[in-house]
A and B are shown apart, each in its own frame.
Chain A
Amino acid sequence: MRWTGLAASFAVLAAVAVLSLAVGAQAIPPAEVWQQLWRPDGGETAAIIHDLRIPRTLLGLCVGAALGLAGALMQALTRNPLADPGLLGVNAGASLAVVGAILLGIVDMRVWVWFSFAGAALAATAVYALGATGRGAASPARLVLAGAAVSAAFLAVIDAVLTLNAGVFDKWRFWDIGALAGRDAEVVRQVAPFIVVGAVLALGLGRGLNALALGEQAGQGLGASPGRIRLAGAGAIMLLCGAATAAAGPIGFIGLMAPHAVRAFTGPDNRWVLAYSAVLAPALLLAADVLGRVVMRPGELESGIVTAFVGAPVFVYLLRRRKVVRL
């Protein structure tokens, strides 16, 4: 049953990916997409597909999967349904670093990627050091509060810079929306390795997280080591979410929503929640991106905006229809 569902999810993802190649300012019929994909004839259509839409679709796949996995991990680690991937301070750290880069006069988006990745790593380390070290068992609630505290402090600096410097605000407001458009293949190549490592790490944690879900002591009794799982989880979140934010800006909501929506089908087993999230989150992101290209022709609506606008009603519907699965 769950395997069938997973296969169906993959089919949905593949369909959405093809749509993402076909739909845009210049619509290309799927048959031609298929042909150009394998035997590019060097014409204009081939250029659109290979230079614009394939990088964009790949980026959507990577970013979506990363956000979905990071969200599922975060919720399982903190056992808090409100936890989203940004909670480790990753988004705030990345934003701060990008603001710093803009202040330094750097306008190249490929350099921003490294800045935001460094910022994300710094913030995640600070939150983890504050939230999970020290004497006594590190409880999920500490991690949550530490994340909120560090994020608030970072956001304060960002807001201070933005209100005092209009030039920075002008560049930053476009980055902050979160979008897949306008990134070239180079960006995908930069972040993909981090996402792959993070994804492998995340998918391997399912069993341990299931043991921890029974409570700290029961988990230890089952042979899971809470400290190690938490460290590995935080590392995976930092890699996944840091890379995703670096590539596409802070795309909210997917990481929060995908695991909740998925739990309506899979139940609380974290192995399945992780696997489904990794497949369905990119499907949602790509679908939002495709929709964003259609609704405001010839202009585009950024996928960061569409995601929340389309995702939220679905999310609310799922919450109303099913019983909320407790974490």
Chain B
Amino acid sequence: MSVYRIVRTPSRRISARVHLRASAVVLVLLAAAAAVGLAALGTGSAVSVGDAARTLFGYGDATSEMVVYELRAPRVLLALLVGAALGAGGAVVQSLSRNPLGSPDVIGVNAGAAAGAVLVILVAGTSAPPAVAGGALVCGLAAALLVYVLSFKNGVQGTRLVLVGLGVTAMLHSVIAYLLSRADLYESEGAKVWLVGSLAGTGWERVWPVAAALAVLLPVTLALGRSLSTLEMGDDTAAALGLRVERLRLALLLASVALSGAAVSAAGPITFVALAAPQLSRRLTRAPGPGVAAAAATGALLLAAADLTAQRLPTPGQLPVGVLTGGLGGLYLAWLLHREWRAGRS
């Protein structure tokens, strides 16, 4: 049996080739993400999972409605959205740079955003979320632009782009380390929490910008992402197959930078989701090519699960979610690699 199926509309106007296992995996991942989200809505005192589910279907009492809609839903939604953005962005950059270490962080978005946020917190002396998010967004996009301009020379070659990105990232990190070491300890700690990435204290005002950005960017990325596997065959082959390589690459790069810019300005530079999600989803779907949709679903599940764990852990203070994504994602990837190699696959 073929792993692909051709899906057509009755009039045969529109048709699409669908990878069966990949589609099934995406559906399962989305269901799991929804389940985790529901569990997160029912975490904590006052409102249980059952109450949360009743509330979602409109049968909840006033208290549950307040808790679910005002306090918990924004955080859960933000986790799902940011995770999806990071996963999709990571898949695109890894495919473009043909490097498993490639993620939007390498082209400077995260480091720029982090430097911007730290500047706002430590130099401007305000930690109001809109100011920090704005500073992060502006500096993140500026850093990505700088990297692109610096590496442009008769088109952008993947390796040069990534290396220039690493150079700029290293500079920005040294700025951050300098600011952190010179600032007052209390403020420095606050900046550090932002740098790890946290979803605590999320209100709707933090969700809307990301939701709007994703509503535009995710469909665009998914549509463009279909040509990624052709692009992976090499620039010449792709051009011969009718792709406008340079323009397509720029569009994809822009989309992934915008995705991670939106994510990082809302929740801080959460590590590892962009790197791990595409690797995990590729192993789950066993489909060839980058699979942007599966990576986005994996990212959403990963981040939502990490945030739920961060809330449940019996630590003296609540851990920022970035700690958990690194821990959980790292361990899961390690386990996957281990199992895969025991089985002799690669």
The chain A residues found within 8 Å of chain B, CB to CB, are 80-83, 130-131, 133-136, 139, 141-142, 144-146, 148-157, 159-160, 162-164, 166, 169-170, 173-174, 176-177, 252-253, 256-257, 260, 301-302, 304-309, 311-313, 315-316, 319-320, 324, 326
Contact = CB atoms under 8 A, between A and B. Distances in A.
Contacts of A302: 178, 181
Nearest to B317: A164
Nearest to B272: A152
A199 B322 CA distance: 37
B226 interface: no
Contact of A309 (B164, B171, B326): B171
B341 A309 contact: no
B271 A326 contact: no
B170 A145 contact: no
8 contacts: A145-B100, A149-B330, A149-B331, A153-B326, A153-B327, A160-B319, A305-B175, A316-B167
Nearest to B99: A82
Contact of B100 (A144, A156, A163, A301): A144
Report which residue of B100, B157, B180, B316 has the largest number of chain A beta carbons within 10 angstroms of its beta carbon.
Answer: B100
A152 B193 contact: no
Given A142-B337, A163-B196, 4 more contacts: A153-B334, A174-B181, A307-B174, A324-B160
Contact of B150 (A133, A151, A155, A320): A320
B159 A324 contact: yes
B153 to A, nearest CB: 6
Looking at chain A's contact residues, the main secondary structure is: helix
Given A163-B196, A309-B171, A320-B153, A81 B163 contact: yes
10 smallest beta-carbon distances between A and B, as pairs: A152-B330, A153-B330, A156-B327, A156-B326, A134-B341, A308-B174, A312-B167, A308-B170, A149-B333, A253-B170
A326 B158 CA distance: 11
B346 A139 contact: yes
Given A81-B163, A308-B174, A145 B319 contact: no
Contacts of A324: 157, 159-160, 163
A184 B157 CA distance: 45
Interface string B266-286: 000001100110010000000
Interface string B185-213: 11011001100100000000000000000
Interface in B111-167: 150-151, 153, 157, 159-160, 162-164, 166-167
Nearest to A139: B346
A316 B164 contact: yes
A80 B99 contact: yes
